[in-house]
Amino acid sequence: MEPLTGMGVLALMGAAATIAGASEDLESDVGSQSNPNSQVQLAPQMMYPHRIYNKAISGEPPSNALICAIGGTVATVLMVTGAAAILALIVGSFVAMLVHGTYSVTPYIGRSASQKRFKQPIYLDIIRSHTPVIMGFAFITTFCILVISYLMISALGHPFPLPLLAFIWGIAIGAIGSSTGDVHYGAEREFQNFEFGSGLNAANSGNIVRKAESGIRNGIDNSWFCAKFGGPATGLAFGMVVFLSGWITVVFDPSISDTLGWEAIIAGVVIVLILIAFNRKIEVDARKRYGPYKVDDEEVGA
Protein backbone atom coordinates (compact mmCIF):
# COMPACT_ATOMS: atom_id res chain seq x y z
CA MET A 1 0.00 0.00 0.00
CA GLU A 2 1.05 3.61 -0.60
CA PRO A 3 2.59 4.92 2.64
CA LEU A 4 0.54 8.11 2.34
CA THR A 5 -2.73 6.15 2.07
CA GLY A 6 -1.66 4.03 5.04
CA MET A 7 -1.00 7.15 7.11
CA GLY A 8 -4.40 8.57 6.13
CA VAL A 9 -6.18 5.39 7.20
CA LEU A 10 -4.18 5.34 10.43
CA ALA A 11 -5.08 8.97 11.17
CA LEU A 12 -8.77 8.13 10.69
CA MET A 13 -8.41 5.10 12.98
CA GLY A 14 -6.64 7.24 15.60
CA ALA A 15 -9.42 9.84 15.47
CA ALA A 16 -12.12 7.16 15.79
CA ALA A 17 -10.21 5.59 18.68
CA THR A 18 -9.98 8.93 20.51
CA ILE A 19 -13.74 9.45 20.25
CA ALA A 20 -14.36 5.83 21.28
CA GLY A 21 -12.14 6.18 24.35
CA ALA A 22 -13.85 9.36 25.51
CA SER A 23 -17.37 7.99 24.98
CA GLU A 24 -16.49 4.69 26.67
CA ASP A 25 -15.31 6.48 29.80
CA LEU A 26 -18.27 8.86 29.93
CA GLU A 27 -20.66 5.94 29.45
CA SER A 28 -19.13 4.24 32.49
CA ASP A 29 -19.42 7.52 34.46
CA VAL A 30 -23.11 8.11 33.68
CA GLY A 31 -24.00 4.55 34.58
CA SER A 32 -21.28 4.15 37.23
CA GLN A 33 -19.58 0.96 36.16
CA SER A 34 -16.39 -0.87 37.02
CA ASN A 35 -14.25 -0.32 40.12
CA PRO A 36 -15.57 3.08 41.36
CA ASN A 37 -19.03 1.55 41.45
CA SER A 38 -17.93 -0.45 44.50
CA GLN A 39 -18.30 2.81 46.46
CA VAL A 40 -21.73 3.57 44.95
CA GLN A 41 -22.75 0.05 45.93
CA LEU A 42 -21.29 0.46 49.43
CA ALA A 43 -22.77 3.89 50.17
CA PRO A 44 -26.34 2.82 51.17
CA GLN A 45 -24.86 0.19 53.51
CA MET A 46 -22.99 3.00 55.27
CA MET A 47 -26.31 4.89 55.56
CA TYR A 48 -25.73 7.15 52.56
CA PRO A 49 -28.58 6.42 50.11
CA HIS A 50 -28.11 8.24 46.80
CA ARG A 51 -29.54 9.02 43.36
CA ILE A 52 -26.60 7.69 41.32
CA TYR A 53 -27.22 5.09 38.61
CA ASN A 54 -25.77 1.80 39.86
CA LYS A 55 -24.82 -0.25 36.83
CA ALA A 56 -22.23 -2.97 37.13
CA ILE A 57 -22.93 -5.23 34.18
CA SER A 58 -19.45 -6.72 34.59
CA GLY A 59 -15.94 -5.33 34.43
CA GLU A 60 -15.65 -2.76 31.65
CA PRO A 61 -13.51 -4.93 29.33
CA PRO A 62 -15.97 -7.86 29.07
CA SER A 63 -18.95 -5.52 28.80
CA ASN A 64 -17.38 -3.51 25.97
CA ALA A 65 -16.07 -6.66 24.32
CA LEU A 66 -19.63 -8.02 24.36
CA ILE A 67 -21.23 -5.01 22.67
CA CYS A 68 -18.39 -4.69 20.13
CA ALA A 69 -18.55 -8.41 19.28
CA ILE A 70 -22.36 -8.22 18.89
CA GLY A 71 -22.00 -5.17 16.66
CA GLY A 72 -19.25 -6.84 14.63
CA THR A 73 -21.25 -10.05 14.20
CA VAL A 74 -24.41 -8.26 13.05
CA ALA A 75 -22.38 -6.08 10.68
CA THR A 76 -20.58 -9.10 9.20
CA VAL A 77 -23.85 -10.96 8.61
CA LEU A 78 -25.33 -7.90 6.88
CA MET A 79 -22.24 -7.41 4.73
CA VAL A 80 -22.36 -11.05 3.63
CA THR A 81 -25.92 -10.49 2.43
CA GLY A 82 -24.67 -7.57 0.31
CA ALA A 83 -25.40 -4.54 2.51
CA ALA A 84 -23.16 -1.49 2.22
CA ALA A 85 -20.41 -1.43 4.86
CA ILE A 86 -21.45 1.87 6.45
CA LEU A 87 -25.06 0.71 6.78
CA ALA A 88 -23.95 -2.63 8.21
CA LEU A 89 -21.72 -0.94 10.81
CA ILE A 90 -24.51 1.42 11.87
CA VAL A 91 -27.10 -1.36 12.17
CA GLY A 92 -24.59 -3.50 14.07
CA SER A 93 -23.90 -0.67 16.53
CA PHE A 94 -27.65 -0.07 16.91
CA VAL A 95 -28.32 -3.70 17.86
CA ALA A 96 -25.36 -3.63 20.30
CA MET A 97 -26.77 -0.43 21.82
CA LEU A 98 -30.15 -2.09 22.45
CA VAL A 99 -28.49 -5.05 24.16
CA HIS A 100 -26.42 -2.69 26.30
CA GLY A 101 -29.52 -0.73 27.28
CA THR A 102 -31.19 -3.94 28.47
CA TYR A 103 -28.12 -4.94 30.43
CA SER A 104 -27.97 -1.47 32.03
CA VAL A 105 -31.53 -1.37 33.35
CA THR A 106 -31.54 -4.85 34.91
CA PRO A 107 -28.52 -4.32 37.24
CA TYR A 108 -29.83 -0.90 38.34
CA ILE A 109 -33.17 -2.33 39.38
CA GLY A 110 -31.65 -5.53 40.75
CA ARG A 111 -28.92 -3.91 42.78
CA SER A 112 -31.11 -1.14 44.16
CA ALA A 113 -33.82 -3.66 45.06
CA SER A 114 -31.28 -5.79 46.93
CA GLN A 115 -30.47 -2.73 49.08
CA LYS A 116 -34.04 -2.16 50.23
CA ARG A 117 -33.08 -2.97 53.83
CA PHE A 118 -30.68 0.02 53.70
CA LYS A 119 -33.53 2.27 52.48
CA GLN A 120 -32.06 2.74 48.99
CA PRO A 121 -34.96 3.72 46.66
CA ILE A 122 -35.30 2.75 43.00
CA TYR A 123 -35.75 6.03 41.09
CA LEU A 124 -37.77 5.50 37.91
CA ASP A 125 -36.93 8.99 36.65
CA ILE A 126 -33.21 8.07 36.90
CA ILE A 127 -33.85 5.03 34.69
CA ARG A 128 -35.78 7.17 32.19
CA SER A 129 -33.20 9.96 32.04
CA HIS A 130 -29.93 7.98 32.28
CA THR A 131 -30.57 4.87 30.20
CA PRO A 132 -30.87 6.73 26.85
CA VAL A 133 -27.62 8.58 27.63
CA ILE A 134 -25.85 5.30 28.43
CA MET A 135 -27.20 3.76 25.22
CA GLY A 136 -26.12 6.78 23.20
CA PHE A 137 -22.54 6.58 24.47
CA ALA A 138 -22.53 2.80 23.91
CA PHE A 139 -23.60 3.38 20.29
CA ILE A 140 -20.76 5.86 19.70
CA THR A 141 -18.20 3.52 21.29
CA THR A 142 -19.35 0.47 19.32
CA PHE A 143 -19.55 2.35 16.04
CA CYS A 144 -16.04 3.80 16.42
CA ILE A 145 -14.58 0.39 17.34
CA LEU A 146 -16.31 -1.17 14.34
CA VAL A 147 -14.92 1.58 12.08
CA ILE A 148 -11.40 0.89 13.41
CA SER A 149 -11.78 -2.88 12.94
CA TYR A 150 -13.30 -2.52 9.48
CA LEU A 151 -10.54 -0.16 8.33
CA MET A 152 -7.89 -2.54 9.66
CA ILE A 153 -9.36 -5.39 7.62
CA SER A 154 -10.38 -3.62 4.42
CA ALA A 155 -7.61 -1.01 4.10
CA LEU A 156 -4.64 -2.43 6.03
CA GLY A 157 -5.33 -6.11 5.18
CA HIS A 158 -5.54 -7.50 8.72
CA PRO A 159 -6.33 -11.26 8.61
CA PHE A 160 -8.60 -11.50 11.71
CA PRO A 161 -12.39 -11.66 11.17
CA LEU A 162 -14.33 -8.46 12.01
CA PRO A 163 -16.18 -9.76 15.13
CA LEU A 164 -12.93 -11.03 16.68
CA LEU A 165 -11.03 -7.82 15.97
CA ALA A 166 -13.94 -5.82 17.43
CA PHE A 167 -13.94 -8.14 20.47
CA ILE A 168 -10.20 -7.61 21.05
CA TRP A 169 -10.45 -3.82 20.71
CA GLY A 170 -13.48 -3.96 23.03
CA ILE A 171 -11.36 -5.70 25.69
CA ALA A 172 -8.55 -3.16 25.14
CA ILE A 173 -10.79 -0.07 25.32
CA GLY A 174 -12.47 -1.40 28.48
CA ALA A 175 -9.09 -2.09 30.09
CA ILE A 176 -7.88 1.41 29.22
CA GLY A 177 -11.08 3.16 30.31
CA SER A 178 -11.08 1.24 33.56
CA SER A 179 -7.37 2.05 34.19
CA THR A 180 -7.38 5.74 33.32
CA GLY A 181 -10.66 7.67 33.21
CA ASP A 182 -12.28 5.75 36.06
CA VAL A 183 -9.63 6.99 38.48
CA HIS A 184 -10.85 10.54 37.91
CA TYR A 185 -14.40 9.43 38.75
CA GLY A 186 -13.54 7.07 41.60
CA ALA A 187 -10.75 8.92 43.38
CA GLU A 188 -11.81 12.53 42.76
CA ARG A 189 -15.45 13.04 41.72
CA GLU A 190 -16.96 10.59 44.21
CA PHE A 191 -14.97 12.08 47.09
CA GLN A 192 -14.90 15.82 46.47
CA ASN A 193 -16.00 16.39 50.07
CA PHE A 194 -12.48 15.44 51.25
CA GLU A 195 -9.41 17.61 50.86
CA PHE A 196 -7.83 17.46 47.39
CA GLY A 197 -4.41 15.86 47.06
CA SER A 198 -4.45 12.40 48.59
CA GLY A 199 -5.81 8.91 48.04
CA LEU A 200 -9.07 7.89 49.68
CA ASN A 201 -8.56 7.05 53.34
CA ALA A 202 -10.04 3.57 53.85
CA ALA A 203 -11.98 4.95 56.86
CA ASN A 204 -14.00 7.18 54.49
CA SER A 205 -15.10 4.36 52.17
CA GLY A 206 -18.72 4.65 51.12
CA ASN A 207 -19.04 8.31 52.11
CA ILE A 208 -19.60 9.50 48.53
CA VAL A 209 -20.73 13.02 47.62
CA ARG A 210 -24.51 13.05 47.18
CA LYS A 211 -25.19 16.75 46.61
CA ALA A 212 -24.67 18.23 43.19
CA GLU A 213 -23.65 21.70 42.04
CA SER A 214 -27.42 22.22 41.95
CA GLY A 215 -29.83 19.78 43.59
CA ILE A 216 -29.05 16.12 44.29
CA ARG A 217 -26.20 14.50 42.39
CA ASN A 218 -26.86 11.87 39.73
CA GLY A 219 -24.82 10.04 37.08
CA ILE A 220 -25.20 12.78 34.47
CA ASP A 221 -23.64 15.30 36.90
CA ASN A 222 -20.70 12.91 37.22
CA SER A 223 -20.20 12.64 33.47
CA TRP A 224 -20.31 16.46 33.22
CA PHE A 225 -17.36 16.65 35.61
CA CYS A 226 -15.41 13.73 34.16
CA ALA A 227 -15.84 15.08 30.62
CA LYS A 228 -13.35 17.78 31.62
CA PHE A 229 -10.44 15.42 32.22
CA GLY A 230 -11.14 11.69 32.67
CA GLY A 231 -13.04 11.21 29.40
CA PRO A 232 -10.65 13.07 27.07
CA ALA A 233 -7.63 11.44 28.75
CA THR A 234 -9.11 7.99 28.14
CA GLY A 235 -9.64 9.00 24.52
CA LEU A 236 -6.03 10.15 24.34
CA ALA A 237 -4.83 6.82 25.75
CA PHE A 238 -6.86 4.61 23.41
CA GLY A 239 -6.08 6.86 20.43
CA MET A 240 -2.36 6.59 21.23
CA VAL A 241 -2.55 2.79 21.54
CA VAL A 242 -4.32 2.34 18.19
CA PHE A 243 -2.19 4.96 16.44
CA LEU A 244 1.24 4.01 17.80
CA SER A 245 0.79 0.24 17.48
CA GLY A 246 -0.23 0.75 13.83
CA TRP A 247 2.20 3.57 13.06
CA ILE A 248 5.34 1.47 13.44
CA THR A 249 4.24 -1.03 10.78
CA VAL A 250 2.80 1.58 8.41
CA VAL A 251 5.97 3.69 8.36
CA PHE A 252 8.36 0.72 8.37
CA ASP A 253 6.34 -1.62 6.13
CA PRO A 254 7.37 -5.25 6.87
CA SER A 255 5.73 -6.45 3.63
CA ILE A 256 8.58 -4.80 1.66
CA SER A 257 11.41 -6.53 3.52
CA ASP A 258 12.19 -8.17 6.87
CA THR A 259 14.81 -5.49 7.54
CA LEU A 260 12.08 -2.86 7.56
CA GLY A 261 10.10 -5.15 9.86
CA TRP A 262 12.97 -5.15 12.37
CA GLU A 263 13.19 -1.37 12.05
CA ALA A 264 9.51 -1.25 13.03
CA ILE A 265 10.33 -3.24 16.17
CA ILE A 266 13.21 -0.86 16.99
CA ALA A 267 10.85 2.12 16.48
CA GLY A 268 8.45 0.47 18.96
CA VAL A 269 11.22 0.02 21.53
CA VAL A 270 12.18 3.70 21.14
CA ILE A 271 8.53 4.73 21.71
CA VAL A 272 8.41 2.63 24.91
CA LEU A 273 11.69 4.17 26.14
CA ILE A 274 10.32 7.69 25.53
CA LEU A 275 7.17 6.79 27.49
CA ILE A 276 9.30 5.47 30.40
CA ALA A 277 11.23 8.77 30.48
CA PHE A 278 7.96 10.74 30.33
CA ASN A 279 6.52 8.75 33.23
CA ARG A 280 9.66 9.33 35.29
CA LYS A 281 9.46 13.07 34.62
CA ILE A 282 5.85 13.19 35.83
CA GLU A 283 6.83 11.20 38.95
CA VAL A 284 9.75 13.49 39.83
CA ASP A 285 7.70 16.65 39.21
CA ALA A 286 4.83 15.36 41.37
CA ARG A 287 7.13 14.44 44.26
CA LYS A 288 8.84 17.84 44.10
CA ARG A 289 5.63 19.85 43.76
CA TYR A 290 3.43 18.05 46.31
CA GLY A 291 6.11 16.99 48.82
CA PRO A 292 5.84 14.15 51.34
CA TYR A 293 2.79 13.52 53.58
CA LYS A 294 4.83 12.52 56.62
CA VAL A 295 7.99 13.78 58.31
CA ASP A 296 10.98 11.46 58.23
CA ASP A 297 11.27 10.11 61.81
CA GLU A 298 14.95 9.22 61.35
CA GLU A 299 15.85 12.80 60.41
CA VAL A 300 13.74 14.28 63.24
CA GLY A 301 15.35 11.87 65.74
CA ALA A 302 18.83 12.86 64.58
Tell me which residues in 152-191 interact with other proteins (CB under 8 A): 152, 156-161, 164-165, 167-169, 171-172, 174-176, 178-184, 186-188, 190-191
Closest distance of CB 128 from other proteins, Å:
28
Cα–Cα separations (whole angstroms), residue 265 to 157, 268, 271, 275: 19, 5, 10, 15
The gap between the terminal CA atoms of the chain, to the nearest Å, is 68
Nearest to other proteins of 37, 142 (CB atom):
37
Considering the rule CB under 8 A, would residue 293 count as an interface residue with other proteins? yes
Task: Fill in the per-residue mask, 64 to 103: x = in contact with other proteins (CB under 8 A), - = not in contact.
Answer: ----------------------------------------
Nearest to other proteins of 131, 249 (CB atom):
249
Neighbouring-strand partners of residue 211: 216
Q: Is the dihedral of CA 35, 37, 42, 47 positive or negative?
A: positive
Considering the rule CB under 8 A, would residue 296 count as an interface residue with other proteins? yes
Contact 68, 142 (CB under 8 A): yes
Q: Which stretch binds other proteins (CB under 8 A): 3-11, 31-39, 104-112, 118-126?
A: 31-39
Considering the rule CB under 8 A, would residue 196 count as an interface residue with other proteins? yes
Q: How far apart are CA 174 and CA 21, in angstroms?
A: 9
Per CB under 8 A, contacts with other proteins among 47-66 are 59-61
3-state SS class at 145: helix
Per CB under 8 A, contacts with other proteins among 265-284 are 265, 268-269, 271-272, 275-276, 278-280, 282-283
Question: What residues contact 288, with CB distance under 8 A and at least 6 apart?
Answer: none
Q: Among candidates 232, 249, 190, which has minimal Cα distance to 32? A: 190
Considering the rule CB under 8 A, would residue 33 count as an interface residue with other proteins? no
